[in-house]
Structure 1
Amino acid sequence: MKFLRWLQLAGSCLLLTNVVFAQKVNNKYNLSIRKTSQPVQIDGIVNDAAWQEADKARDFFMVLPMDTSFANIKTEVQMSYDDHFIYLVAVCYHGRNGNYVVESLRRDFAFQKNDNFLFFFDPFEDQTSGFSFGANAAGAQWDGFIYEGGKMDLSWDHKWISKVVNYEDRWVFEAAVPFKTIRYKKGITNWGINFSRNDLHAFEKSSWAPVPRQFPTVSLAYTGNLVWDAPPPSTGANISLIPYVLGGLSKDYDKGTPTDYRKDIGADAKISITSSLNLDLTVNPDFSQVEVDRQVTNLDRFELFFPERRQFFLENADIFGNFGYANIRPFFSRRIGLNVPIQFGARLSGKLNKDWRIGLMDMQTKSVPERDLPVQNFAVLSLQRKVFSRSNIGFLFVNKQSINYEPDKDPVTPEHRQYNRTLGLEYNLASPGNYWTGKALVLKSFSPVGGNRTITTAANLNYTSRQLFLSWQHEYVGKDFQAEVGYVPRTGYLKFNPQAGYLFFPKKSPVLSHGPLLQTIYYTNEQGRKTDYEHSLTYRTNFRNQAVLNAYVSKTYIELLMPFDPTNTGSDSLATGTQHHFNTAYIEYISKPKSLFTYAANVRYGGYYNDGSRLQLTGEFGYRFQPYVGITMSSTYNDIRVPGTWGRRSFWLVGPRVDVTLTNNFYFTAFGQYNEQTKNVNLNTRLQWRYKPASDFFIVYTDNYLPEYMSVKNRALVAKFTYWFSL
């Protein structure tokens, strides 16, 4: 197959870009860490004996707005440890008069919207995976798992303690991270380390070991060295049990059924097999505390993507869910148990050694007799082998199997099929300095429902420098490729997607950078006949105060491959094979994050299907009573005019939100959504009290209404209590 030959050629090109021997970029930046014999009090006061002896990391480098000098804002960091904890203190001096800038006291804040300090561990010295901890200037904690050399998984949530104290000329962050919280290889006395500071008053981001401005400061390719005076201590047995109890009630007013009362118990367990390999178990899991999805006005021809939000599936999710591309995901955990109860599950994930990483997950759902759904088992195996300096080869196997279910014949619907399997292999490129990145993959599916075009192949290669961005991507998805536990909204196509962009950096100007981005997305069917394209030119402008202005124009062609209602409301459909041409213009502005009042707005106008037109107005406006209350109003208006039976249709989507963070451990959110397209009003309120580290009490109330007369469709109330036992 010529597509496989293309994949082989692309993979060879990716390999050639990575064979150059790489010494660590920031190898000369070293910070010694010595064991302390005196207790360290986590109080934000730098008077412990450990801090009188510890080395200091200072003289940070500016990353933004430009990476050509030392930072203007002074930061000093010290580290120490004992048999149980790693200690850190950071003194963050003010550069200008004025209070700090933060969104709220909520955990895992948005980095770019808060004055904050973060630090990054690479405890395997592999420059691909690690851990991050930090806080904003009001003391809200941040922690996450680092994967693929510089991407953050903020769903990773563990027990550690910190304190922030504000002074007139500085704020101080002090933290103690238990060795049991992180994973690391025994005997290694050199870890990758870097520190990052964001100061919105000075419009400056900085790091201890220098990082080029086009990369995030979390990039593990640019860490310095944390040099231990002795190997870090062994963590010993590390077992945690996290049970929950739940009570609640719900009522469906549409169906007129009696009130349903809930009383559930369940538990998760975390068992450290080694210091770098963890086993997670769950029995009768419940995810009622998870925030509701943000609704969208759906005008797309294909299935929309909504991210996973359930905690059990999020931890170490990268090794399972990052296989493939955004629209070619052979595994998508949201396919498991969203509308079917989960009985139990297990996940083994982590490092086997410096070069090998494993992810093994098995989940089983309950049967649903009223829907003729059998018990189903979902098994996933993922392996990664590091190659060269920062790249890896990955293997994935996904199996969905119905248990004790033998229909007379293979049904059409995926929910009733006896099995579905996907096998995949991919190569991920990350060059030593992260300038070259890319991927090449091949997938094959297996299903009792026929077809022989079950292969998918794809590859991409990117070059990113301070000024220049170049990218090439192509995809082939066979018509019969079926990944039922994945997210592949479209099959039977070839796609080509080249991009090229350039940035200019004017001196002594409110504009930090500006420049064009050219992109083409071109689709054909499997025989090579054109079916879709979109050519676009975007002009990006970034201001020194971190405001953003973007504008683009595009030219689009679509040949419908199936009937499509351009309003997605159940009206008439445009016929298969009809061809549609239209042009679109778009402009967007995002205000500077420093202000108490922030806003973002965009306008899109252009043609639409069947020689129609579409106007879209989107806005988000927020005001914060720092740091306790944040109020946001988001809205989208679509005015669609399509000749024929559709005529003029308009859709409002409005979403007010209130976030209250009375302390670092007490959060309340009220989120409403009015969706005119689906004729639904949703109200979701969520109270969370973190009464102990990693232990929570939740109260969640949900209402759904019909917009006419605000008549209730259904409502539910849940109270849930979790507790983290360390055994």
Structure 2
Amino acid sequence: MPVWAVMICTALLQLMPVKTFAQSPETDPPPLILSRLTGPIELDGFVNEPAWAKIDSLAVVMYSPIFMGQMTERTDIRVAYDDQYLYLGGRLYDSDPDGIRANSMYRDRYSGDDAVALILDTFNDRQNGLWFSTTPNGVRIDMSVSNDLDALGRNPFDTVINMSWNTFWDAATQITDSGWSLEIRIPFTSLGFQTTDGMVEMGLSVTRRISRKNEIHEFPATPPNWDLSYAKPSKFRRIQLRDINVGRPVYITPYVASGAEQYSSLSDDETQYDLQSDWTGDVGGDVKYNVTNNLTLDLTVNTDFAQVEVDDQQVNLTRFSLFFPEKRRFFQERSGIFEFRTVGRFDRLFNTREIGLYEGNSVPIYGGARLVGRIGGWDIGAINMQTAAAHGNPSENFGVYRIRKQIFNPSSYVGTLITTRLSSKGNWNAVYGLDSRVKIGSSEYIDLKWAQAFDETADSNAPGANGFVRGQIERLTQIGLSYRLSAAWGGTEFEPGIGFVSRTGFVQPFVLAGYGWFASDRSKILSVRPEVLFTQFLRSSDGSLETQIMWHSWSLEMKSGDSHTFQLEARKDDLTEPAEFPEDTEIPAGRYTFYNFNWDYMMRFGRLWRINASTEFGQFYDGSNIQIEVEPTWNLSRYLEFGGTYQFNRVRFPDRDQGFFVHLARVQSQISFSTAASVSAFLQYSTAADVVSANVRFRYNFREGNDFWLVYNEGRNTDRLQGDPILPSIDSRTLFLKYTYTFIR
């Protein structure tokens, strides 16, 4: 679709009738003064203490399926505090208690359960939030939100919601004949905030999800004009707490670990693989100290991440590297402060997975420090870590330093990010970036970014070779017209040493436009949203076309909670050298134009058995591709959940009599004996990598910060004849245990 057609479609969409809701006022109502508890609260899930009776209920309203519609069940939620904790108490009435969804007991896993969430903008910056959610089984789920949840054109759970973040807090629940009830208790020491004249101000949002009805209640009343509107910190209700005297405890978390490892290594004469065995043992630990109520220092010695869940295998049918999300806890707190994205979904100036990992293998970390928080209107962050020599790499030092200042309004800032990477052999890489984001309307923003990457191996460190610049204007809303217009340029030597960059030497124009509206109250459809995208990557050396992508999509969200997305894509790729794919398949150099169609279906989370599915078919360079993916999940009981993914790709090039099949299968099970004890098993098989791998983890969580882990990993080669000498059946296997205990001083 040419650019002029995109513009005409966008203009026509503006003429369509649209059901919208009034925007939230730019001026906040007076802060809600939270009441202090007048007596003790026993955290048992029964909201029956006399102190609760003196706390007013929040004025919740229906968020979906019909904003401000008639709530089908009564919701009574109260928030209060004492000297040490912030509390939430809730009575969640239900006319059909047997219909309450309590699907899982697995920590940090949402499986379509009913839930209550408390989200706090503790910085009071209208950009960041801490998300505390509890299900009827008492499962605790905590996440963090950044960038005011603005993720137009991207999945917020890939970009601005960090599900790996954890902190110290408690929850208790009860299921009764009239519904269920809960109590949440969060230590003030787990919340970063600033005190002014004995008063603390922050933002608050509370939601209740009735899963089987796809019904959400919220406070405050925020119209669904944005994706997950109720979780946008800029729309939260301001609250005030007075006379909080919070101490600054020190959390000291030592660990001990031991285990056995077997791995295959090539013999000295390189004629066979031998199975080697090792016993390992290690000690180390972390220290967390709140320098102020809003500034946290983390120290780590001999850092160990062995209990972290393994990465998902992925199928790569592109010419670029795959991106994997960060799951290690040390890097999670306030991680949004360090965000500096360049182009696309994943490219960024700082990627934490460059630290302590090399080609998927763990690299020992001697130790490091991390400082993050807010002072006045300044966001600050600093990381410095030292890794050991491993896998042929020398010992390295990593430094990351971030400063960001609010300007004009709470949603605008200017900042800088500096990264350094220094090896013991004298190799170095240094990067600086300048960025600014300015809110110019109710939903309109301007972004400007500039960066340079200096490397001792670069042919040139001149700005024309190692620089990056991007300008962008966007309108962020799910209802009515939204758009993103940007232009970016990256030099041929722009290689951030601790970043993730898929392309260099490019100029990129980018246009994304969409128009969304709500269907009538009587319709089974909740909302409709068509979008169009046009972008190019031009070679900065001569302006020639490298890649062009155009697509048009329609997204339908049903009141049942199901959703459909249909997308038609046209793509051009200019290959200057052959592209290699599995089974010795090779695409010759040349310019290619190809088209494909994609359909995605997502079933409502609340079903005990549900399935997500997608299919894509069409041309692939000078051949064809069919891709089918299914992702079923089955909650047999609150103790047991099965899930899996199967992806099939068939790629054919008839003119060259070439092609390949790719099968990717994942099977997962979660067994929860209680909210403290659980087992997860993860089996993966990929014909692209010719491996099958297993990861089994047992965890007993005595309390937050006190864990016992028993973990087993195994990797096997499924095509032993692809190598010379013959590859071993067992690539590696490990069995280890780890115990951590947190002392609070």
Matched, 1:329 2:329: no
SS at match of 1:149: helix
Structure 2 Cα separation of the partners of residues 376 and 279 of structure 1: 22
Give unpaired runs (5+ residues) of structure 1: 1-21, 407-417
Alignment match of 2:317 (pick from 286, 299, 303): 299
Check if 1:546 corresponds to 2:522: no
Secondary structure of the residue that 2:39 maps to in structure 1?
coil
1:663-707 Cα deviation digits (max 9, x unpaired): 111121111111001110111111111012221111110111122
Give the one of 427, 432, 446 matched to 2:454: 446
Is it true that 1:492 corresponds to 2:492 in the alignment? no
The superposition leaves residues 14-64 of structure 1 with CA deviations (integer Å, 9 ceiling, x where unpaired) of: xxxxxxxx9974733754323334211111222212112112213x22222
Give yes or no for contact 2:47–2:90 (8 Å, CA) kept in 1. no
Q: Give deviations 1:589-625, integer Å, cap 9, x for gaps.
A: 222222211001111111112x211111111111102
Matches within 5 A, 1:147-546: 147-150=146-149, 151-186=160-195, 187-213=198-224, 214-216=226-228, 217-228=230-241, 230-233=242-245, 235-253=246-264, 255-325=273-343, 326-339=345-358, 340-353=363-376, 355-368=377-390, 371=392, 373-389=393-409, 390-403=411-424, 405-406=425-426, 418-430=427-439, 433=442, 435-448=443-456, 449-451=458-460, 452=462, 453-465=465-477, 466-507=479-520, 508-526=522-540, 527-546=542-561
Question: Separation in 2 of the partners of 1:166 and 1:341?
Answer: 46
Letter in 1 for 2:333: E
Question: How high is the TM-score relative to the length of structure 2?
Answer: 0.88
Q: Letter of the aligned partner of 1:260 in structure 2?
A: D
**Runs of 5+ in structure 2 lacking a partner?**
1-22, 150-159, 266-272, 721-727
Letter of the 2:448 partner, please give it: A
Contact 2:664 2:684 in 1 (8 A): yes
8 A Cα contact 1:252 1:715, kept in partner? yes
Trace 1:695-710 onto structure 2 (pairs within 5 A): 695-707=706-718
In structure 2, what is the Cα distance between the partners aligned to 1:712 and 1:274? 51
Q: Which amino acid aligns with 2:172?
A: K
Matched-pair contact (CA < 8 Å) for 1:96–1:201: no
Kept after mapping to 2: 8 A contact 1:384/1:392: yes
Distance across 2 between alignment mates of 1:485 and 1:317? 15
| TM-score normalised over the length of structure 1 | 0.90
1:556 equivalent in alignment to 2:571: yes
Equivalent-residue separation in structure 1 for 2:353 and 2:509 (angstroms): 28
Letter in 2 for 1:175: I
- Cα distance in 2 between the residues matched to 1:626 and 1:460: 48
CA deviations on 1:455-487 (whole Å, 9 max, x unpaired) are 101132221332332221322111111112100
Matched-pair contact (CA < 8 Å) for 2:440–2:446 = no
1:180–1:667 CA distance, 2 compared to 1 (3 A): same
Deviation per CA, 1:107-134: give whole Å up to 9, x if none: 23348x3311111222343212232222
CA contact (8 A) 1:462 1:472 kept: yes
CA offset at residue 430 of structure 1?
4.6
Is 2:684 the counterpart of 1:684? no
Distance 1:437 1:260 in 2: 56
Residues 546, 141 of structure 1: alpha-carbon distance in 2 compared, 3 angstrom cutoff = same
Amino acid paired to 1:447: D
Q: Which among 583, 594, 598 is matched to residue 610 of structure 2?
A: 598
Give the Cα separation in 1 of the matches to 2:252 and 2:47: 35
Secondary structure at 1:318 match in 2:
helix
2:35 maps to: 34
Question: Aligned runs of 1:72-91 on 2, under 5 Å?
Answer: 72-91=72-91
| CA distance, structure 1, for counterparts of residue 452 and residue 719 of structure 2 | 48
CA apart distance, 1:246: 0.3
C-alpha change, 1:192 and 1:95, in structure 2 (3 Å) is farther
Q: CA, structure 1 residues 179+505, in 2 after alignment: closer, same or farther (shift >3 Å)?
A: closer
Q: What aligned pairs does 1:7-18 form with structure 2 within 5 A after superposition?
A: none
Q: Does structure 2 retain, via aligned residues, the 8 Å contact 1:155–1:315? A: no
Equivalent residues of 2:340, 2:349 under 8 A apart? no
- Asked whether the 8 Å contact 1:572–1:645 carries over to 2, the reply is no
| Structure 2: distance between partners of 1:342 and 1:618 | 38
- What are the superposed Cα offsets for residues 704-725 of structure 1, whole Å, 9 maximum, x if unpaired? 1122599322111111111111
Amino acid at match of 2:348: R
Moved more, 337-346 or 275-284: 337-346
Q: Tell me if structure 2 keeps the 8 A contact 1:26–1:209.
A: no
Q: Does the 8 A contact of 2:96 with 2:179 survive in 1?
A: no
Greater mean deviation of Cα atoms: 154-163 or 697-706: 154-163
Q: 1:392 to 1:503 in 2, by over 3 A?
A: same
How big is the shift at 1:93? 1.8
Change (3 A) 1:142 1:246: same
For the 8 Å contact 1:600–1:620, the answer to whether it is kept is yes
Cα distance in 2 between the residues matched to 1:144 and 1:706: 36
Kindly provide the amino acid, as one letter, of the partner of residue 337 in structure 1.
G
Q: Deviations over 1:638-673 (max 9, x none)?
A: 111124666131111011111112211112111111
d(CA) in 2 for partners of 1:541 and 1:96?
A: 29
* 2: CA distance, partners of 1:397 / 1:292: 30
Moved over 6 A (4+): none
2:17 aligned residue: none
Q: How many residue pairs get matched?
A: 682
Alignment-mate amino acid for residue 600 of structure 2: E
The letter of the residue matching 2:354 is R
SS in 2 for 1:497: strand
Q: Do 1:31 and 1:55's aligned partners in 2 also have CA atoms closer than 8 Å?
A: no
Secondary structure of residue in 1 paired with 2:51: helix
Query: Helix, strand or coil for the counterpart of 1:330?
Result: coil
Residue aligned with 2:325, SS = coil
Q: Which moved more, 1:342-351 or 1:661-670?
A: 661-670
Q: Distance in 1 between matches of 2:235 and 2:585?
A: 56
**1:107 counterpart = 2:130:** no
Kept after mapping to 2: 8 A contact 1:74/1:95: no
Deviation, 1:265, is: 0.4
Deviates more, 1:22-31 or 1:96-105: 22-31
Q: Is the 8 A contact 2:296 2:373 kept in 1?
A: yes
Name the CA shift for 1:201/1:25 in 2 (closer, same or farther; >3 Å): farther
What is the Cα deviation at residue 85 of structure 1? 1.6
